[in-house]
Structure 1
Amino acid sequence: MGSDFEETMNHPCHLQHPIILKSEGAPFQCSGCKELGFGPRYQCHETDCPFVLHYHCATARPTDRTRIHLFMGNRRFDFLWEPPGEPNRRYCDACGQDVRGFLYQDQYSKHNFDLHPCCMNLKRTISDPNGTVELNLKDKVPSKCVKCKRKGLNNVQSKEAFRGWSYVSSCGNYCYHVYCVKTLILENWERVISMLLLPPPTLLLQAWSSEVKLYQLQALWPWIEEEGRLDYQSPVR
């Protein structure tokens, strides 16, 4: 982690206790955006308090400057503590999952695009330490996802066919929904834990079976940060 990480802070949504930066631990549900988290997190210093935040959720504020995203053209996104309107009526335009807490929203257009903070901050390109294989973040799903075997996601409230964003190998042969990558990470963390009965010190996770070759890809998610590493094998075709 870089030196710009503040070790301890007081958060407006949890004023009763300070929150402290923790480098690693078990998967968690962020108290801010309600999404899955791995690796570094800000956690309440009281051991019996469950409050925990992704790094990007802990450091963002509604008073921050408007943000833009490469995949969203000139649309401007504001950080909000909670989604406007009725509960469970909005979904992330990147991963397709419900927006239930902290979010970035384009409030200046008719559509009002939404992004989870973790999806707003997804790494554009990830590769193994030797540069053997590379995955690139795309705003489309060019082929069927290796995990779910579909182009579209079924668990989305969108009235139209929803595909969202994906990670695509540089060779173009392998494609994964952002949502499916997150699911793989959790499933295989649980598999490793069930086998070892102890947390792996560097979160070495087997993401899918292979008959070919083992790849070691850097973390797919900003909340895994530099300490996290996933052990991947190329998908069976």
Structure 2
Amino acid sequence: MTDQHLSSQYENELHVVSAQLIELGQRVDKQIFQAIDALAHSNAEGARQVLAAEAAVNALEVEIDHEITSIIARRQPTARDLRLLMAISKASSNLERVGNEADRMALKVLAFIGRGAPGALPLQKLSAAAKLKTDLLSRALKAFAQLDLPAAVAVIKEYELGYGVVDEIVGQLVNDLIENPRKTSSCLEVISLAKSLELIVDHAKHIAELVIYVVHGADVRHAPVEQIESLVKQG
């Protein structure tokens, strides 16, 4: 077998595992959307669909890790390819955790629907916030797929902004609790849902940071944005 043929096979293996990561991201993105849509429309069936998707998401994460381990064992990749494979593994783990948050949201939605959804709670606002958060996650995944440094930096810069809408929702719910203690259970569940959205933003940021790790070999998880931008500009 020629070196060129081996190289072609190796490139195909990298492409396959990268495509699996994108598929995992799409599955998780759908879970989040369904969970929030179920809350906004009191749709118990939609929440159950989120939970039903959990097994497939978990299985795909395991498959990705298995494929990565197999590639490393067979190909002994160079430094950058090894960083790419490690980053795919880490991104896959982040996405699986996002899927777990979607499952938690779905369970809360079912409990919430079971007690009836008071119209005074900001369900539509929460749904709008969820779309902003999933958009950030989708952009992080796109940046990772294309190893797009400017796009990754943009996601990291918007990370802090991602908390604003959720904080506003939580503030409104706290005021509702003060004014009407009878809403305690419902308000606390919606606050918990809002906090799950914050965790989704965290995972989006982590995936964006992995882009810089693959390209530059630098771990920027705790670096200020200014330092990250400087690193990217240096090429």
TM-score class normalised by the smaller sequence? under 0.3
TM-score by length of 1: 0.23
Q: Higher helix proportion, which one?
A: 2
Q: Higher strand proportion, which one?
A: 1
Higher relative contact order (CA 8 A, sep 6+): 2
